[in-house]
Chain A
Amino acid sequence: MDRYIYLDHSATTPVKKEVFEFMMPYFSEKFGNPSSVYLVGRESRKAIDEARDSVANAIGAQSKEIFFTSGGSESDNWALKGVAYANKSKGNHIITSAIEHHAIHNACKYLENDGFEVTYLPVNSNGLISVDDLKEAIKPTTILISIMFANNEIGTIQPIGEIGKIAREKGIYFHTDAVQAIGNIHINVDELNIDLLSLSGHKFYGPKGIGALYIRKNVKIASFIQGGAQEKGRRAGTENVAGIVGLGKAIELAAQNVEAYNSKLLNLRNRLIKGVMERIPFVRLNGDADKRLPGNANFAFEFIEGESLLLMLDMKGIAASSGSACSSGSLDPSHVLLAIGLEHEIAHGSLRLTFGQDNTEEDVDYVLEVLTPIVDRLREMSPLYERVKRGN
């Protein structure tokens, strides 16, 4: 294969070399248990404290408000279940959106089975919730609003500042799943009135299996894992020291570089969107044109199916993803694409390309060069396209 172009940075990113090197000593050399009093234990403890400071600095929080977890899904589960159970006496109503990650939706389903009530706010055709809908959904029993910062599929960025303001005025906790946003967008939890925030290391060039939950001071939340005194006894278990160290380094680098990274991705993504729209007919851009993650492009190509498209791109050395049912193992296409109002058959033909640090303009041009004939070829094979060509 001549080239390999990775365009699936929303799925995961490679660990940065500096991050990897920073983590290395914490496997064999500085292996001590952070709870131990002797030197190697103290070294691990210190490394965790520093990583916690880095995470806190990156989002404008205090270090004591950062709790390490195994990643985004755990953070989301903890935020929802922890707040729900600790505030049951105040109410049982949670507000979220129709396009959240499965970690939110399935945690909500779990809570619904346990007597909680969940409102799933609809989104418009660009994937944005309406602030008026949110205001109307609030009840005296509402204890939590959980709205994702930016969507993993279509990249739409929600009006987080406005949501935070409403939540604060009403005295309702506000959680945001910022897994896709961290590293791409500058986030300050105080400015945005965020009470809880989920983040995951591997989305910004850190290791997999490590994440964090920001919990604002005085937020009432149940512990997630009962056991020892780690993470103030709220999330017990011997710490993933190397992972935490890696997360800390990755978020420190991401925060330093967020503006340059953002404009680099924006340039690549806009070049791709412009090129695709100009060259290929019967295509639409999914998500909002402006309020979207800088590295995200998501298209729906009519008359073709996403998995076929992905495999053809893979053969040309391009790694991407799709919201098609056939790439997910279920019969339904992505809930996000259906929520923005796409017909099933159009949602099946979606393609997501997400840029990262190593991509170049040449990569974009190569994608444009190979994508056009692949789409043509699949359309020539499609009975749906045949009907359109015949004009019925």
Chain B
Amino acid sequence: MYSEKVMDHFTNPRNVGEIENANGIGEVGNAKCGDIMKIYLKIEDDIIVDVKFKTFGCAAAVATSSMATELVKGKTIDEALRLTNKAVADALNGLPPVKMHCSNLAEEAIRAAIDDYFVKTGKISKSKTSCMGCCEKCHVEHGEE
């Protein structure tokens, strides 16, 4: 049911762990729904110089976390903010339909971590994360751009 790419990122996830002096941390999802994604960012001069994740969830959740970290590593904040759930899923050669919400989670986790960075650096006053990544509770539309 999973592509080889998904299985590769599930068995050998990239960037697992924590960053001690992270300046952007985002956590989305809900244990009740079966997945939680936590992203740590180290941002210097608007560039994501390091990124790590921790995920509680199924193989698709782990693989999308891993792929999302790969896609934003070394990118500027603006580039990272343009990351879409579709881009994550496409980079994994697709996800089964029932697992598409996992890619939303990855997109939202990255955004939440960047929001946190903005708050910490005083660029915005408070976090305005719109999606907490829990599909049961979520009313946010995710674009298929």
Show the binding face of A for B, using Cβ within 8 Å.
303-305, 307-308, 311, 315, 324-327, 329, 331, 333, 343-345, 348, 380-386
Q: Secondary structure of the B side of the interface?
A: mixed
CB distance from B32 to the nearest CB of A (A): 4
Q: A348 to B135, Cβ gap below 8 A?
A: no
Cross-chain contact of A383 among B27, B33, B59, B135 (Cβ < 8 A): B27
Q: A residues within 8 A CB of B11?
A: 315
Give the A-B contact count at a CB cut-off of 8 A: 72
Show the binding face of B for A, using Cβ within 8 Å.
7, 10-11, 13, 16, 18, 27, 31-38, 54-62, 98-99, 135-136
When chains A and B are docked, how far (Å) is the Cα of A331 from the Cα of B29?
13
Please judge, given known A-B contacts A381-B54, A386-B18, A386-B54, whether A329 and B98 are in contact too, CB under 8 Å: yes
When chains A and B are docked, how far (Å) is the Cα of A311 from the Cα of B12?
13
Cross-chain contact of A305 among B27, B32, B57, B99 (Cβ < 8 A): B57
Q: A residues within 8 A CB of B57?
A: 305, 308, 326
When chains A and B are docked, how far (Å) is the Cα of A380 from the Cα of B57?
13
**Most chain B beta-carbon contacts within 10 A, residue among A324, A329, A331:** A331
Q: B33 to A331, Cβ gap below 8 A?
A: yes
Q: A344 to B32, Cβ gap below 8 A?
A: yes
When chains A and B are docked, how far (Å) is the Cα of A327 from the Cα of B98?
10
Q: B residues within 8 A CB of A303?
A: 56
When chains A and B are docked, how far (Å) is the Cα of A304 from the Cα of B54?
12
Q: A305 to B135, Cβ gap below 8 A?
A: no
Q: A345 to B31, Cβ gap below 8 A?
A: yes
Q: A residues within 8 A CB of B37?
A: 383
Please judge, given known A-B contacts A305-B61, A308-B62, A331-B136, whether A345 and B54 are in contact too, CB under 8 Å: no
CB distance from A31 to the nearest CB of B (A): 38
Please judge, given known A-B contacts A311-B10, A383-B54, whether A325 and B62 are in contact too, CB under 8 Å: no
Q: B54 to A382, Cβ gap below 8 A?
A: yes
